[in-house]
Homo-oligomer: A and B are copies of this chain.
Amino acid sequence: MSEARGGPVRPAHGVLQPVPLSSVHLTGGFWGHRQAINSTATLAHCRTWMDRLGWTGNFSTAPAERTGREFTDSEIYKLIEALCWDADEHTAELSTLTALAAGAQAGDGYLGTAYGRPGQPARYSDLNFGHELYCTGHLLQAAVAAARTGRAPHLVEIARRAADHVCATFGPGRNEGICGHPEIETALVELYRATGERRYLDQARWFVERRGQRTLPEHEFGWAYFSDDVPVRDAEVFRGHAVRALYLAAGAVDVAVETGDADLLAAVRRQFDRTVARRTYLTGGMGSRHLDESFGDDFVLPADRAYAETCAGVAAVMLAHRLLLATGDSRYGDIVERLLFNVIATAVADDGRSFFYANTLHQRTRTEAGPADRELLRFGGGPRAPWFEVSCCLPNVARLLASLETYLVTSSDAGVQLHQYADLDVSAGGLDLRVRTGYPDHGVVVVRVAAAEDRVRTLTLRVPAWAAGARVVDRTGSRPVPPGPFEISRRFTAGEEICLELPLRPRWTVADDRIDAVRGCVAVEVGPLVMCAESVDLDPAGADLDDLRVDTSSAPQANAVKGWFAPRSGAPWPYRETAHDHDGPRTPRVVPLVPYHRWARRGPTTMRVWLPTTPA
């Protein structure tokens, strides 16, 4: 059943189809560079830490020797998945890791190092937080990657046995529980797609339908935390733990697509659309609360201590990609672009060896990074760290970057759709294309047709929602193109070029009035990039970003705004009857901006995305 480097998502139906990794390659540029760092640094970095902390060893040591949190197995599976998708083959490493998993699998197919062995809690005794089915789900996804790349072939059989165990254990008249952390749902559907085993799809559907009936044990975070408060098809918006909600939704889309359940698909779309409209940061980040890593109420999106977990960014890309494939709606491409450039690109250090777990939009205090040889206990915030006690985000980003091409381009019977702009060689939909661009630093995207079938083909270019004034230049001339999908249908000829010009005019951005946290502030966006100001760039050097007031009377300059620094109040009580008096001199200053994804790369700094405007 192996394919020549397929991809992580292969729906049987949908408006658009994914392009397998064998047919699309990042050749350089913004994302090519990051994928190369992922391949050459991050993958080995993850393995080193997993060995060092004993997480790989957990598969072969005695139960009493087990180390790490209950979900560490999943990190190894995510690493295996990333190693499968990666351009390099990693044959020996995959063999080693597969053997470890095989050695730990019980006779009945159960595979997990934290439960069920002597001295450990019983299997499935903590559905809320045990993460057993979550771990199994990542095993299945690793096996899908193995199946679709021909690497680690033994893993497929391990995963089938684990999936068979799940089917035999859970369901009507059996264990009627669900896992506190969704993941098994989307994984079972994908394993069904990869193997043709219908029981896996049925089992996934049962898990999806079972959720929302408050069958999980009551917990102080409430059933919403687990998305177990309301059935999937009845909910109005995502709520509770962001990653859990988004993984569940991805699984629900997969089930809906494979079973032709239009109502279920519409329900998830509705929830995602409302979440994007009301519960999403400017960066695309989702989940504002630290306490329970959850979505807050509508419009509660504080820039200070924004959580915006990296894993939620990965999960939102996964979900938006599934919705894009199912519906063809280019708005899902818009949100993927925002997430990639402003969450995923932000989370990883330049050397690929340290990471943000949370992605705040406002850093008030300069915080030193910790030592490079020490994991961060406080996983939900702080500077980029080499590792976290809870390190879900690191191999999650790694598997996304390793398979990134499949999220950038799709195909259909009519042709090929370019959703994201990067240096790509792609062969799909009857067209063989070379895409070259300096994006996002430059707005020109050149699509050269290397070869084309001799029939009418449609090349679809996503014009981002922000790109008013975009133009397409090709052999037929130059013309303005509105935001949305722009189709060029004709018989293409080898050697011709289509040039998309996206205007990267810096623009002020204001928020919905109901987002109290950023009232009276503006942000600056340039193309797909959210910009920010950092204290390391300030003149005078001692100035405080929180005193900055920007002047919006003229457009923002290229990567800089004008403003002034308000005098500080030293009042003993921070509330007063009359507005503060800023009648003193307003020395004009130019404050540099950098892309948000570049922040905290030049030493300790404070940072703001949202910049207060001058009063009145």
Chain A residues within CB distance 8 Å of chain B? 218-222, 273, 276-278, 280, 282, 289-291, 296-300, 302-305, 331, 362, 364-365, 377-380, 389, 465, 507-521, 523, 546-547, 566, 569-580, 610, 612, 616
A575: B residues at CB distance < 8 A:
282, 509-512, 523
Tell me the complex Cα distance, A450–B616, Å.
55
Task: Provide the residues of chain B in CB contact with A578, threshold 8 Å.
Answer: 510
Q: A583 CA to B472 CA in the complex, in Å? A: 36
| Other-chain residue from B302, B380, B520 in contact with A302 (beta carbon distance below 8 A) | B302
- Chain B's closest residue to A577 (CB) is B507
Interfacial chain B residues near A512, Cβ < 8 Å:
569, 571, 574-575, 580
Contact A305 B300, CB 8 Å, known A516-B518, A572-B273, A579-B510: yes
Q: Shortest beta-carbon distance, A366 to chain B, in Å?
A: 11
Q: A222-B378, A574-B280, A574-B299 given as contacts; is B513 within 8 A of A612 (CB)?
A: yes
Q: How far is the CA of A290 from the CA of B307 in the complex (A)?
A: 13
Given A516-B518, A517-B517, residue A572 in contact with residue B277 (CB < 8 A): yes
* Complex-state Cα separation, A277 to B576, whole angstroms: 12
- Contact present for B516 and A517 (CB under 8 Å): yes
- Indicate which residue in B291, B364, B516 contacts A521 across the interface (CB closer than 8 Å): B516
Q: Once the chains are docked, how many angstroms separate the CA of A516 from the CA of B521?
A: 9
Q: How far, in angstroms, from A580 to B510 measured CA to CA in the complex?
A: 8
A226 to chain B, nearest CB (A): 14
The residues of B that contact A297 with a CB separation of less than 8 Å are 304, 364-365
Measured CA separation A574–B514 after assembly (Å)? 9
CB atoms of A519 and B580 under 8 A apart: no
Q: How many whole Å from A510's CB to the nearest CB in chain B?
A: 5
In the complex, A118 Cα to B378 Cα: how many Å? 34
Q: For the complex of A and B, list the 7 residue pairs with the smallest distance between their C-beta atoms, beginning with the closest.
A: A512-B574, A520-B520, A519-B520, A290-B291, A220-B377, A297-B364, A291-B291
A566-B221 Cα distance, complex, nearest whole Å: 34
Given A519-B521, A616-B616, check contact A577 B513 (CB 8 Å).
Answer: no
B573, A277: Cβ atoms closer than 8 Å: yes
Can you name 16 A-B residue pairings with CB atoms under 8 Å?
A221-B378, A276-B572, A290-B291, A291-B291, A299-B574, A302-B304, A303-B516, A304-B517, A331-B572, A509-B575, A509-B576, A512-B569, A512-B571, A513-B547, A519-B520, A523-B575
Q: How far does the Cβ of A379 sit from chain B's closest Cβ, in whole Å?
A: 7
Residue of B273, B290, B377, B513 touching A566 (CB-CB under 8 A) = B513
Whether B516 and A612, one on each chain, are in contact in the complex, defined by CB atoms closer than 8 angstroms, is yes
Query: How distant is A279 from chain B, measured CB to nearest CB, in Å?
Result: 9
CB of A338 to closest CB in B, whole Å: 9
* Complex contacts, A509 vs chain B, CB 8 Å: 575-577
Interchain nearest-CB distance for A323 vs B (Å): 13
CB distance from A238 to the nearest CB of B (A): 15
Residue of B218, B219, B465, B519 near A519 (CB, 8 A) is B519
Q: For the complex, what is the distance from the CA of A303 to the CA of B610, rounded to whole Å?
A: 18
Q: Cβ of A547: which chain B residues have Cβ within 8 Å of it? A: 513-514
Most buried by B among A290, A300, A362, A569: A300
Residues of B contacting A296 with CB < 8 Å? 304-305
CA gap between A362 and B302 in the complex, in Å: 13
Please report the C-alpha to C-alpha distance between residue A578 and residue B507 in the assembled complex, in whole angstroms: 9
**A379 in complex: contacting residue of B220, B300, B364, CB < 8 Å:** B220
Q: Are A220 and B331 in contact (CB under 8 A)?
A: no
Of B222, B364, B616, the residue contacting A298 (CB under 8 A) is B364
Please measure, in the bound complex, the distance between the C-alpha atom of A546 and the C-alpha atom of B616, giving whole angstroms: 22
**Contact between B290 and A546, CB atoms less than 8 A apart:** no
Residues of chain B with a CB closer than 8 A to A574's CB: 277-278, 280, 299, 511-512, 514-515
- Beta-carbon contact of B521 and A220 below 8 Å: no
- Whether A291 lies near B572 (C-beta < 8 A) is no
* C-alpha spacing A205/B260, complex, angstroms: 71
| Bound Cα distance A570, B276 (Å) | 12
Residue of A290, A512, A578 with most partner-chain B CB within 10 A: A512
- Complex Cα distance, B572 from A331, in Å, reads 10
- A516:B220 contact, CB within 8 angstroms: no
Task: Name the B residues within 8 Å of A579 (CB-CB).
Answer: 510
Q: Which B residues touch A299, using CB under 8 A? A: 364, 546, 574
- A612 and B220 within 8 A (CB): no
A445 → chain B closest CB, angstroms: 22
A389 touches B519 (CB 8 A): no
A509 CA to B575 CA in the complex, in Å? 6
A257 shortest CB reach to chain B, Å: 22
A571 touches B277 (CB 8 A): yes
Chain B hits for A523, CB < 8 A: 575
Say whether B364 contacts A300, CB under 8 Å.
yes
Q: How many Å from the CB of A344 to the closest CB on chain B?
A: 19
Q: Closest B residue to A574 by CB, please name it.
A: B512
A363 (CB) vs chain B CBs: closest residue: B297
Which chain B residue lies CB-closest to A277?
A: B572
Given A296-B305, A302-B304, A516-B612, 9 more contacts at CB 8 Å? A220-B377, A510-B577, A510-B580, A513-B566, A513-B612, A514-B546, A516-B518, A516-B546, A519-B612
A4, chain B: closest CB distance, angstroms: 38
Nearest to A570 among chain B residues (CB) is B277
- A543 to chain B minimum Cβ distance, whole angstroms, is 13
Return chain B residues, CB-CB under 8 Å to A273. Answer: 572
